[in-house]
Structure 1
Amino acid sequence: MSTNNDHDQAVQRFRDSIPLFQALSDPARQDIILLLAEHNSLNVTDIANRSRLSRPAISHHLKILRDIGLVSIVQQGTQRYYSLSLEDAVSQLKSLISTVEQTCL
């Protein structure tokens, strides 16, 4: 039987996950994530060449993904290369799922 504390914890985990869900909800960002999953790292030009979006739009979406921690950057000379950094997001989602399983099922 779940307690009020369990319920509060579940609600908090959901609320903590909102920025991640918002970042993942955009199809353009989903496309970027899938592109980066296929390649070790890409720069903005590489991503734009494989996308229907402009370079400024790609940069905008990469900033959102970077801010939420889904993408990391490595500077190589004048180029910035982006790669996936999913460990924290996966951990957050696993924690949410575990809390839901314990509280709601």
Structure 2
Amino acid sequence: MEKERILAAFNAVMPVFAIFQDQRRQELMTELCCKGELTVNELTALVALSRPAVSHHLKLMLDAGVITVRQVGVERRYQPNMAPIIKQLKTLTAALEAN
């Protein structure tokens, strides 16, 4: 039972680990965590990536559920979605510490 719980916890958090294997996505998430809600243009000004590259990474992060987006007029404002990530990491940590 314990082995299955640990494996389930790893499986739940693997998409987060996979999305953040890329250093550019780590950088984008760091900017969002430190500065809060940002647009693609604001993020592009903060990192050494083109606007299309930032948009591509944001789409991947949005699909993975690690960020959310809010439409404000013509702007799309992105923000981190940390609660589910933290919950998954806590579950994994608890499962590992239980052994």
TM-score tier (shorter):
over 0.9
CA–CA separation in structure 2 for the residues paired with 1:39 and 1:30: 14
Paired with 1:11 and 1:37, the residues of 2 have a C-alpha distance of 29
Which structure 1 residue ranges, 5 or more long, are not aligned?
none
Report the CA distance between 1:31 and its aligned residue. 0.5
Partner residue, 2:66: 70
Q: Percent identity?
A: 30
For residue 40 of structure 1, report the CA deviation from its aligned partner.
Answer: 2.1
What does residue 90 of structure 2 align with? 94
Q: Which residue of 2 aligns with 1:30?
A: 26
> Which of 25, 43, 55 is residue 47 of structure 1 equivalent to?
43
Tell me the distance in 1 between the aligned counterparts of 2:71 and 2:49.
23
**Alignment coverage as a number of residue pairs:** 99
TM-score w.r.t. the length of structure 2 is 0.93
Contact 1:69/1:86 (CA < 8 Å) preserved in 2? Answer: no
Higher-Rg structure is: 1
- The structure 1 segments of at least 4 consecutive aligned residues displaced by more than 4 Å after TM superposition are none
Alpha-carbon distance between aligned partners in 2 of 1:92 and 1:25, rounded to the nearest angstrom: 17
Distance 2:66 2:73 in 1: 23
- 2:76 is paired with a residue of what secondary structure? strand
Matched to 2:24, the amino acid is A
Query: What TM-score do you get using the length of structure 1 for normalisation?
Result: 0.88
- Structure 2 counterpart SS, 1:41: coil
The two structures, once aligned, show a CA RMSD in angstroms of: 1.0
Q: Tell me the residue number matched to 2:9.
A: 13
